[in-house]
Each structure stands twice: as structure tokens, then as C-alpha cells.
Amino acid sequence: MAGEKRLGEVAEIIMGQSPPGETYNEHGDGLPFFQGVADFGYRFPTPRIYCTAPSRVAKPGDIMLSVRAPIGRVNIADRECAVGRGLSIIRARTPEDTRYLEFALRAKESQWDAIEGSGSVFGNATRRDLEMLPVSWPEEASQRYAIAHILGTLDDKIELNRRMSETLEAMARAIFKAWFVDFEPVRAKMEGRWRRGESLPGLPAHLYDLFPSRLVDSELGEIPEGWEIKKLTYLCSTQYGYTASAVDEPVGPKFLRITDINKRN
């Protein structure tokens, strides 16, 4: 088909292979080891496990494509890393095509969901599945580079905003912990560190009177005087999720699975 090629024509495909289990560690020895989408971020994975005897190694800039459910998710290796059986390494035959190929594969993510649902792929994508995967491919290299530049510029801005949001979220978490877990405003009052007209980090002076002046014992430890311990069920209602079957029709609202929830974004 015009404007389309098989993935195997434009990229080298290296299937992941898990190293021996005894070589895994969590204290940074060896290379970061990625087994699947659990460690994927918006564009780059977050190291959690390392291994000292990698079997398959991705180079910086390589595309990592998940080959186990959810199939087709994409991340980029931002450093040399080990890749397990849940992933494959997609390495563009022409390095200048890497960024374009990344976007072409991202565009296929929703189609993999449909392929899985049709029964064509049973929870795993093989090398042959990947080699035969059709991807949009303008014949003119200049067109591919232009598309990659435009989309890459937008994507870089998204990544910058995402990192800024992470920083702000970390600040908000730190303030919440200081106010409502460590009860720093109450302790400042108790220790005489608070004076009107001053403020603790993150606490405007006009909120001073919202906090009691002493801590009292509770079943969870010390809490501000006048506060209570409540069970979550007293404060809100909960409802368990539903597990859809493979034959459910893909209609109606989006069905969310645990793998759809990104721990960072």
C-alpha cells in the first residue's frame, strides 16, 4: 500500500529476554531492567529493578515496545538498559527515522487493543507479528523528518510541562505532609516558634488560627486537639471495578484497567 511499510522493513526488531533471576537487585548494580509497561512513563521509563547480567540490551534512543498485554505501548530508552520478555527493542534502520517511527508506533496503540480483542493475538505479540505490522511511511525522507520535527517539538513541550507538574505535585505533597501528617503548624505553636506576622514554609500567616495549640493521643498516635479519627467508609462510598471479558463489544465508555493508570501522569 502507498505510504505504508511493514515494521520489519524499516526497523531491526530485537525481542527481549529476561536475565537470570539471581542477577536482579534494587540498589543500582548493573543496568536498569525493564520487563514491561509497569515502569513506563509518558515517554521514558523509570528504573526500579537492575540486573548485573543483561541478556538483551537497548541503546539510548531505542524504542521499547510492549509485546505482552497491554501490547503496543511505547517508551524510549534514555540510557543503556536491559529488556525482558515483555518488551521488544525497535531500532530504526536509519537513525534519523527514529523519532518519526516512535510517533508511527504510538499511533498504532489503539489498534493493538482491537487486534487483541479480535483474537488474532493471544496476549503476546511475536517477532513475526511485529515484522508484519504495517506503519504509515511517507516515501520522502524529508516528509518523515518534518513530521517528526513538528510532533517532536510539541511532545518536548508536553514533557516539560509534565515535569513541571511533577515538581508542583511534589511540593503539594510535601506541604500536605507537613501540615496534616507531621502537624508542623501545631508543633510550631507548642514550641513557641510561631509568631504572628511570620509564616512557616507553605503556610500563610492568616491561616494560623485554623490549627490548635496542642496535640493529644489517639489510636493512630498524636493528633491535633479537637480532631477525630474516622473510618474511610464513614466519609465516602466505594465501588469495586468490573472485569470485562475478551468478547465484550468495544462500545460505550472507555474501560479502564490497572495498566491504564499511569503512576506519574
Question: For 15-62, how does the pLDDT look when each residue is reduced to its tens digit (9 = 90+)?
Answer: 999 999 899 999 999 999 999 999 999 999 999 999 999 999 999 999
For the segment 177-201, the average pLDDT, to the nearest whole number, is 77
φ and ψ at residue 130, rounded to 5 degrees: -70, -40
pLDDT of residue 2 exceeding 70, the answer is no
Q: Are residues 135 and 21 in the same domain?
A: yes
Domain count for the chain, please give it: 2
Q: Tell me, what's the pLDDT at 1?
A: 47
Q: Tell me, what's the pLDDT at 185?
A: 87
Residue 171 host element (H or E): helix 141-180
User: Does residue 80 form part of some domain?
Assistant: yes
Q: Are residues 104 and 211 in the same domain?
A: no
Q: Are residues 136 and 30 in the same domain?
A: yes
Q: Are residues 208 and 80 in the same domain?
A: no
Cell readout for 175 is 506541604
Give the residue among 66, 77, 81 at the shortest CA–CA distance from 32. 81
- Classify burial at 28, counting beta carbons within 10 Å of its beta carbon; exposed 0-12, middle 13-18, buried 19 or more: exposed
pLDDT of residue 256 exceeding 90, the answer is no
Q: Are residues 205 and 148 in the same domain?
A: no
Q: Are residues 46 and 81 in the same domain?
A: yes
Q: Tell me, what's the pLDDT at 233?
A: 86
* Cα–Cα distance measured from residue 260 to residue 72, given in angstroms and rounded to the nearest whole number: 13
Contact 20, 53 (CB under 8 A): yes
Q: Tell me, what's the pLDDT at 69?
A: 83
pLDDT of residue 264 exceeding 60, the answer is no
Q: Tell me, what's the pLDDT at 191?
A: 81
Q: Tell me, what's the pLDDT at 239?
A: 80
Per residue in 69-104, pLDDT tens?
Answer: 889 999 999 999 999 999 999 999 999 999 999 999
pLDDT of residue 121 exceeding 90, the answer is no
In the structure, how many helices (H) and strands (E) does the chain have? 7, 13
pLDDT of residue 208 exceeding 80, the answer is no
Q: Average model confidence (pLDDT) for the chain? A: 86
User: Does residue 255 form part of some domain?
Assistant: no
User: Does residue 252 form part of some domain?
Assistant: no
Q: Are residues 30 and 108 in the same domain?
A: yes
Q: Are residues 16 and 100 in the same domain?
A: yes
Decide which of 13 and 234 is more confident. 13
133 contact partners, CB below 8 Å, separation of at least 6 = 6, 7, 8, 108
Decide which of 201 and 162 is more confident. 162
Question: Would you place residue 113 in the very low, low, confident or very high pLDDT band (cuts 50, 70, 90)?
Answer: low
Question: Would you place residue 265 in the very low, low, confident or very high pLDDT band (cuts 50, 70, 90)?
Answer: very low
User: Does residue 206 form part of some domain?
Assistant: yes
User: Does residue 85 form part of some domain?
Assistant: yes
Decide which of 12 and 243 is more confident. 12
Quote the domain boundaries for residue 210.
182-229
Q: Are residues 10 and 79 in the same domain?
A: yes
